[in-house]
Amino acid sequence: MKIVILIFSILFLLSGCVNKSYVKFVDNNIENYIEIKKINERVREDGFKEIEVVGENTTKYYKLFRYRVTWEDKDGFAIPSLSSNWREFPVQKNAQFRINVIAPNKKAVVYQLYLDKTDR
């Protein structure tokens, strides 16, 4: 019994060390404006990872948001990329939007996409 508990404990600790991809709202108020519907991921034929985030502006107003994506390799090291810079995107009222990003190289396996509202 002690061996089983030890094995589960080790697996639990190791699973916490795994880098995970995610979408994060920088400003929690954005949750009042945007709903993330789904996140699609694939490895293209050329070996580059591609992500697509589908969301919706749930308000009755035109909104201007921004996003940036950071990438890491399988060991958790950051991979410099142009997508790490903030990019603005407009969303019409009650409209769906899509953010498509391709990894900077074939070693990029983990991403973090950050969404924020603009200062304008």
Q: For the stretch 24-44, what's the b/e string if a residue is b when 16 or more beta carbons lie within 10 angstroms of its beta carbon?
A: eeeeeeeeebbeeeebeeeee
pLDDT digits (tens, 9 = 90+) for 33-78: 899 999 999 999 999 999 999 999 999 999 999 999 999 999 999 9
> Structural domains in the chain?
20-117 (2.60.40.3230)
Confidence of residue 120 (pLDDT cuts 50, 70, 90): low
pLDDT digits (tens, 9 = 90+) for 71-100: 999 999 999 999 999 999 999 999 999 999
Q: For the stretch 99-113, what's the b/e string if a residue is b when 16 or more beta carbons lie within 10 angstroms of its beta carbon?
A: bebebbeebbbbbbb
Q: What type of residue is 42?
A: R
Confidence of residue 116 (pLDDT cuts 50, 70, 90): very high
The model's pTM is 0.78
Q: Which structure tokens are listed for 18?
A: 């795994």
